[in-house]
């Protein structure tokens, strides 16, 4: 189910009319203190089930990841003397994993799925920290 936001009223909605009414009550509860007595107790129980981000009116909920430059832009990152500068493609032409490379949460999920890689990364970090500590102690 894809939810989107209405910027004018801050109401989450979809095609189901029942959901529209529930979301409207949630928004009233969160952002309008005087209407607290109007909301029934089943609605309060329903509110406890959803995290605050689910009922947020921020436009981030419906946005997809976008690249930093439009398609067709020449990117000046050529490293070879006789090479050509690459041209940016449409966002959907890039592989899905590319948008998650700089996301630490996504990388941690991948590492937790493979315990051997996670352990290897932990050992490398521990080794680097030990080397830094030993180098620091040598300077004293």
Sorted by sequence, the CB contacts under 8 Å of residue 3 that are 6+ apart come out as: 12, 13, 14, 61, 62
Beta strands in 1-140 (DSSP E): 4-6, 11-13
Model pLDDT, residue 29: 39
Q: What is the pTM of this model?
A: 0.41
Q: What number is the average pLDDT over the span 46-75?
A: 64
Rg over alpha carbons for the chain, rounded to the nearest Å, is: 25
70-101 burial, b if ≥16 CB within 10 A, otherwise e?
Answer: eeeeeeeeeeeeeeeeeebeeeeeeeeeeeee
Mean pLDDT, the chain, integer:
71
């Amino acid at each position: 189910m894809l939810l989107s936001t209405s910027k004018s009223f801050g109401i989450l909605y979809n095609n189901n009319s029942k959901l529209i009414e529930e979301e409207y009550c949630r928004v009233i509860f969160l952002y309008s203190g005087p209407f607290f007595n109007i909301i029934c107790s089943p609605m309060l129980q329903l509110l406890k089930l959803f995290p605050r981000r689910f009922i947020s009116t921020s436009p981030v909920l419906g946005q997809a990841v976008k690249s930093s430059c439009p398609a067709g832009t020449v990117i000046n990152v050529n490293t070879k003397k006789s090479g050509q500068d690459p041209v940016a493609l449409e966002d959907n032409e890039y592989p899905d994993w590319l948008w998650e490379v700089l996301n630490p949460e996504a990388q941690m999920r991948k590492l937790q799925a493979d315990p051997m890689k996670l352990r290897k990364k932990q050992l490398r970090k521990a080794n680097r920290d030990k080397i830094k500590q030993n180098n620091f102690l040598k300077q004293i």
